[in-house]
Structure 1
Amino acid sequence: MRVKEFQAFLQEKKVDASILVSIGMEPDPNFFYFTGYEGAGALIIPQSGRPLLLAPKMEQERARKSRIKSVKILEKKRLFDSVREHVGRAKKIGMDGSALALNAAKALRKSFRKARTIDVSRKIRELRTIKTMEEISYIRRSCREADSILQQCLKNFREFRTESEAAAFLQHEALKRGLDVPFRPIVASGKHASMSHHAPQSTKLNKGLCVIDFGVKVKGYCSDMTRTIGIGSVPPAQRKKYQKLLGVQQQAMASATDAMKCSLIYDGVIRALGKDAPYFTHGLGHGIGVEIHELPNLTTSSIDRMQKSMAFTVEPGIYYPKKFGIRIEDSVLLATRPEQLTKTTKELIII
């Protein structure tokens, strides 16, 4: 994506080239961000000029469909020895300290013995927080797909006997559409909803409030949303808590403005929750993009600030142990004003 801006950073730090690699079963996020390529390989981003993507021979066809115009075969030798041949002499090399395992980092330094290394991962994560128009279009599509699938799930909900059946429906519908899911869907019914990251069970759906947390990936870009519904009867006191939390969530979304400290949004939610604040046990939200959790962080200790073209979630929740839980979450884009991207109704649906 924003290669030119990253190269300006390399020039400022006097880094000759930055090397990003992806060698696991899942594409490395920073590597994917610049390439749009999900296979194995190494990306060389020089201080100036065109980046170079090295990919195994078996991945050449796929690699040549990436954003990187210059693609060459990664020779069958030690990874960083092959990379060094294309980098040449360098005094300072950028590396992704968040992605390289200890042994891989040692191998890189061994191949570039005379060069100093600098961790560039924080800078890339910062670049990723401000979305380009292309990225925003992917996130919008991802949110539309998540809405469509979740709405279909709600229509069919009476057919599900267990939490795991409902979760499987969400995941299967995504796969049917050729989409990935960034995390296993959460379906937490009754007392299970008091656990914010409950794993769906193959036991009968419990009556009461039910938290459903779901998202998909389009072109590698994530959406994330949570709706709380009712199964059977929901006590009036819990309905009242739901309406209160909904008001808090809507107020928190509306309060986000350019340059605002993210911690202030979180602190505003704590004040609005009042007596329920001790039962809000996680952060208010997080950035979304090629990872489901990116910058900015919406927590009381966050040093991040809101900026235009950030995509993030707002997800207050209250969890009364062994009793019930409620969470309401939307994906949001900060444009001229905050724009809610996930549109599924937030009225308390009773099934």
Structure 2
Amino acid sequence: MNLLRLNKLLKEMEINNIPQMLISDPAAIFYLTGKWIHPGERMLALYINLKGINKLFVNELFTVTEDLGVEKVWFNDTEDGVEIVSKYVDKEKTMGVDKNWPARFLLRLMELKGGSTFVNGSSILDTIRMCKDENEKDLMREASRINDLAVERIIKLVPEMHTEKKMSQLLLGIYEELGADGFSFDPIIAYGVNAADPHHGCGNTMVKPGDSIIIDIGCVKDSYCSDMTRTVFYKYASDKAKEVFNIVLEANKKAIDMVKAGVRFCDIDAAARNHIDAHGYGKYFTHRTGHSIGIDVHDLGDVSSVNTDKVEPGMIFSIEPGIYLPREVGVRIEDLVLVTEDGCEVLNKYDKGLVIVE
């Protein structure tokens, strides 16, 4: 177990009056133990107790030979794993339960421990994960460095007239060549009118002259995610498209300029949103300005109008304003930023100015 991270968790559990917790999210277990276990439909749970009674409940199917700094409690497919867990749970104490623990396991535990109080304990660990340590910062920098190289390569393939779907397939090969471990999310490569759909799924559309092309891609490297978006144009861009692009670019820059410790997330969102709204395109900016990122591509926390939390040094999140004009044009520009004491470090270095691909 990573003792520094464990001690932070225990401190927050004590502050929040949660004396015991079950953690099932594989990413959270990796964060604490350094070990990935993907259980599928089987039960996986890490039990943490303020008394120091910590157990990892894991099916015998999974090979976990390393010393993870926590006692392993094994069970097999013919045993009731939840019943085994229940033997260690203090019935008289509040139990924090992972937000991702399947209901079939939670309901069974509630049946066995009737009268106990169960609460969502995930926000405690998720909040700790928002602020990255120095090693995590370096891992995030490397993932974004690879992503910069990948977006440069994929943009150069536009003139080869591949479909959106083929481009995404080629991108996977690019990531492998660059040393990444795979996608951090399904890539969004959207041509023309498809770019006006913020979460377009790659299809068989071919690029046409005058199309805006949204390229929203990310990779995983050493368990940490990257995410960036660039919008380019094929052959030419109309005056309307250029106008929209420049408004989004300025909104991206204004929001980034706002990022520093102590600023509220909602004020960063407003910096981008107010700029777009002032130019008459407010109703076409249909999503939040950004999201936190780390081991998961969407960690706890977002850059939105309703998030009044203040940013802290070590947080990493996206700044990705966009304008989407139905059946016409879509533009999104996204960078990841790392909050520092007096500002932020932009992790993406690839040019985000207006580019015409010939």
What is aligned with 1:321? 326
What is aligned with 2:33? 35
- Asked if 1:250 corresponds to 2:246, the answer is no
Provide the TM-score with structure 1 as the length reference: 0.90
What is aligned with 1:227? 230
Post-superposition offset of 1:228: 0.3
Do the aligned partners of residues 94 and 303 (structure 1) sit closer, same or farther apart at CA in structure 2, a change above 3 Å counting? farther
Q: Which runs of 4+ in 1 moved over 6 A?
A: none
State the alpha-carbon separation in 2 of the partners of residues 214 and 321 from structure 1: 22
Q: Encode CA deviations 1:162-187: one digit per residue, 9 max, x unaligned.
A: 11111211123334535131211001
Matches within 5 A, 1:68-107: 68-76=68-76, 77-85=79-87, 87=88, 89-107=90-108
Match of 2:289 among 271, 280, 284: 284
Q: Encode CA deviations 1:222-254: one digit per residue, 9 max, x unaligned.
A: 111000011111113322321232122112101
State the alpha-carbon separation in 1 of the partners of residues 309 and 18 from structure 2: 26
The answer for unaligned runs of 5 or more in structure 1 is none
What is aligned with 2:125? 124
Post-superposition offset of 1:5: 1.5
Post-superposition offset of 1:60: 3.3
The secondary structure found in structure 2 opposite 1:92 is: coil
The answer for unaligned runs of 5 or more in structure 2 is none
Q: Is the 8 A contact 1:296 1:306 kept in 2?
A: no
What is aligned with 1:11? 14
Post-superposition offset of 1:285: 0.4
Post-superposition offset of 1:80: 2.0
Q: Is the 8 A contact 2:24 2:98 kept in 1?
A: no
State the alpha-carbon separation in 2 of the partners of residues 35 and 184 from structure 1: 27
Do the aligned partners of residues 126 and 169 (structure 1) sit closer, same or farther apart at CA in structure 2, a change above 3 Å counting? same
Q: Encode CA deviations 1:264-319: one digit per residue, 9 max, x unaligned.
A: 11122222121122211110001001222223211112232211110000001011
RMSD: 2.1
What is the number of residues matched between the two proteins? 342
State the alpha-carbon separation in 1 of the partners of residues 223 and 350 from structure 2: 22
Q: Quick one: which amino acid aligns to residue 166 of structure 1?
A: M
What is aligned with 2:135? 134
What is aligned with 2:354? 348
What is aligned with 2:218? 215
Do the aligned partners of residues 175 and 96 (structure 1) sit closer, same or farther apart at CA in structure 2, a change above 3 Å counting? farther
Do the aligned partners of residues 180 and 112 (structure 1) sit closer, same or farther apart at CA in structure 2, a change above 3 Å counting? farther
Do the aligned partners of residues 326 and 80 (structure 1) sit closer, same or farther apart at CA in structure 2, a change above 3 Å counting? same
Post-superposition offset of 1:88: 5.7
Q: Is the 8 A contact 2:23 2:98 kept in 1?
A: no
Do the aligned partners of residues 347 and 33 (structure 1) sit closer, same or farther apart at CA in structure 2, a change above 3 Å counting? same
Identity %: 24
Q: Is the 8 A contact 2:212 2:331 kept in 1?
A: yes
What is aligned with 1:52? 55
Q: Encode CA deviations 1:54-89: one digit per residue, 9 max, x unaligned.
A: 32334234x627xx322424222211222234x364
What is aligned with 1:198? 200
